[in-house]
Chains A and B, each alone.
Chain A
């Protein structure tokens, strides 16, 4: 029964998108219409640059597959082209963190994003990051979330938006300045800062209307997402010159939206960016 789904997809690629069947079946000895065993399934999936389960179930984006096979490696599924307020950088750091489990190619094949798409900072729907996160959920540890957030903060400061961030964060009130550029990272969240006389800051964030237009609300109930964002701010501040022990996170609240309260004690050396003003979001 499952070979039926496979053949249906293959026939559609052949007929609707003019993909050479020899390219699809390369390295296998299957006869058209015959039963497909595990090895052949994986060979065909490899040829199509998708994962085996999606091929078995016939649930992958044929149009994107055709574009990839046609040489357009930067093509991504249509569903990730809506509300592109997150980035390929975020996805890259997430999959790299889990590559030690051999999950990198699996996740990329599953969500149908080619590795070359992540070589440069490009806009991408947060749904791609969230789908990737779902696929690695059984492997996640707090340490992984911290490492991911750290890599994201570093990339944000050194590669994507270096000059913009430097201009803003060189100001005295760095926390406020940082949040004023937060929308360069993504526009999925709105932020509000509350500071009090004793030097405590509270960052409250909620989903932006733009994000709600494109992403179902329920996906952001995942506490991993909130943990990742909190650590992102933490490491961002550390890279901006606040020494590790100088920023104390005193409380966190996670539900659909999040709240993080912290105290800044001293500020260390200034951050020196390496890169440019960064691309614009679509």
Chain B
């Protein structure tokens, strides 16, 4: 079937070079004496594309398969390709029918099918979710994540030691660039969300407090809630969604493009040059964002209180320091530092584990953000337990 050289092939092959108008393929049955099935038209994938044509052909092939007539006449077919030929071949039960008339230029298709024979893929082993193997696998994967995360923290401590020993050789540029990306560029969104949450919280509380005549306690509620809990948490969730996903995707693409390997080969350790700057940058920019979000939420609350309850701005600002002890502010800042570091660590952990394919990149980024937010809320609960008696 393979011609001696390219040149020879030109002598008797036909090539198509315009968008052709193909006759739809069809089958005709004749019942006179010996049953003959005559195929006509173009058995070509382009001709088979209309859904109706395909349905007709499928039906015709099915009924042809049931009659045991079986003289097949394919000599009137205009053109054929592997897909059209495969349709016929499968209708014949993957073998040549006893009586077959075939144009010589279409002989190759069926010879190729005969030579190749039946191709079979190995079945993928199906595992049930409740099988011991799968459960063990899952447990191993979880243990692997936990160990990996601990190793990451360990590496971070070593790198931090190296940084403190020789601060002049530290990754200052990377740190400053990361502060810009994770801090400065997040100012807009944190301000907007903080302001709106402040308004919502203030309105809801004001309505309830007004019923009991406790209007003046709005400052206490708003101040405590925002500075101690909501400010740090809001900023952390926004940063986890914004910067956490960016860090994971960045490291993942660096894995896909082998940049991570290139760094190792050049003697630039990932921990010191990629992870440490991100953790330090987020640990610096997060408390600053917390202060910013606090301020915006309180301004939002203040505006709403003025509209709803008629509390003046002057009164609100004068009451705030008395209502909220300073310790709460420091707890909020501390939360910011811890949350920032955790978000960076979780994002780096999942980023470094991305495998070089697109699906893994998507899945890794998703799980990174979800885990970062969960870890932040867990850490918040730990803070709440540790500082139960502080700041009231």
Q: Are chains A and B native binding partners rather than an unrelated pairing?
A: no
Binding site for A on B (CB under 8 A): none
